């Protein structure tokens, strides 16, 4: 087994009906861009009734048809926010927890010590989070998963991973291994993936690899490390 293998993200996702929500962070192969991506999937009508919307620099999940919303508590949130030289991306309202904690001088892991997995038994969906920190024309990044320590949800296990940026290398963390009842949660370290230099190629590869029935929305951002400017792409299945 090659523990240093860098996978094509298509091979990790394609043919898997349900990997849930996923975060990818890394550096493009040409070394020019910091890359972040977030996607959502859903099985229920309530989950599928969503789109990504960008407002004032913040990415939100919002209802596609407000009249069909059953329970907004775990599906409507700010998914991506900026604070000073940091870019935060998560699969829930812990985005705001991290943002407010940074404002108070706390770090990424300290912020997440205040949160735990989602209260959606029997699945007990993990909370996954990432944060890029930009400095001196480069960046480093952290990723986190908060998951139940047992099937009953008696306590929370917290894992934080910290990475330097390396050309062409990204890390991919997602909420579920595959479909199931209950749904098995992600195991182990974030998966090593290749990050294409071209935003269109990477966006297309990721979107096309996701299950056609269950994918909902995808956001991809490439931040130019020389200028700080970024290009982003949003794909919503509900248009």
**pLDDT for the residue 226:** 97
Instruction: Answer yes or no: is 206 within a domain.
Output: no
Instruction: Answer yes or no: is 212 within a domain.
Output: no
Instruction: Answer yes or no: is 56 within a domain.
Output: yes
Q: Cβ(64)–Cβ(50) under 8 Å?
A: yes
Instruction: Answer yes or no: is 2 within a domain.
Output: no
Q: Which residues share a beta bridge with 201?
A: none
Instruction: Answer yes or no: is 53 within a domain.
Output: yes
Give the Cα separation of 193 and 23 in Å (integer).
Answer: 12
Instruction: Answer yes or no: is 185 within a domain.
Output: yes
- What is the domain-level CATH number for residue 157? 3.60.20.20
Q: Residue 33 belongs to what domain range? A: 9-201+220-236
Is a pLDDT exceeding 80 seen at residue 71?
no
Q: What is the mean pLDDT of residues 206-219?
A: 97
The number of domains in the chain is 1
Query: What φ, ψ does residue 70 adopt, rounded to 5°?
Result: -100, -50
Is a pLDDT exceeding 80 seen at residue 231?
yes
Q: pLDDT per residue over 106-156, tens digit each? A: 999 999 999 999 999 999 999 999 999 999 999 999 999 999 999 999 999
Instruction: Answer yes or no: is 34 within a domain.
Output: yes
Q: pLDDT per residue over 85-102, tens digit each? A: 999 999 999 999 999 999
Dihedral sign computed on CA atoms, order 65, 71, 75, 78: positive
Instruction: Answer yes or no: is 1 within a domain.
Output: no
The pairs formed by 157-160 with CB atoms below 8 angstroms and a separation of 24 or more are 158/109, 158/112, 158/113, 160/108, 160/109, 160/112
The residue among 55, 57, 98, 92 whose CA lies nearest residue 77 is 92
Q: Which of 41-45, 158-162, 191-195, 206-210 has the lowest mean pLDDT?
A: 41-45
Query: Residue 49 — very low, low, confident or very high, per pLDDT cuts 50/70/90?
Result: confident
Please name the residue that has the structure tokens 């059953």. 70
């Amino acid at each position: 087994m090659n523990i240093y293998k860098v996978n094509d993200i298509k091979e990790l996702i394609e043919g898997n009906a349900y990997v849930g929500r996923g975060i990818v962070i890394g550096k493009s192969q040409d070394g020019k861009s910091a890359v972040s991506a977030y996607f959502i999937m859903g099985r229920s009508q309530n989950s599928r009734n969503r789109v990504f919307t960008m407002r004032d620099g913040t990415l939100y999940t919002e209802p596609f048809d407000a009249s069909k919303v059953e329970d907004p508590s775990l599906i409507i949130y700010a998914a991506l926010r900026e604070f000073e030289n940091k870019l935060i991306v998560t699969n829930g309202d812990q985005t705001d927890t991290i943002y407010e904690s940074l404002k108070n001088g706390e770090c990424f892991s300290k912020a997440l010590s205040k949160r735990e997995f989602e209260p959606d038994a029997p699945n007990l969906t993990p909370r996954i989070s990432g944060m890029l920190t930009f400095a001196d024309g480069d960046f480093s990044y952290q990723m986190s998963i908060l998951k139940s320590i047992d099937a009953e949800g008696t306590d929370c296990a917290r894992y934080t991973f910290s990475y330097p940026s390396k050309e062409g290398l990204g890390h991919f963390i997602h909420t579920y291994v595959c479909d199931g009842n209950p749904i098995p949660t992600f195991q182990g370290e974030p998966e090593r993936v290749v990050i294409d230099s071209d935003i269109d190629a990477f966006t297309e590869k990721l979107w096309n690899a996701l299950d056609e029935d269950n994918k909902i929305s995808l956001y991809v951002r490439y931040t130019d490390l020389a200028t700080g400017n970024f290009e982003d792409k949003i794909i919503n299945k509900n248009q």
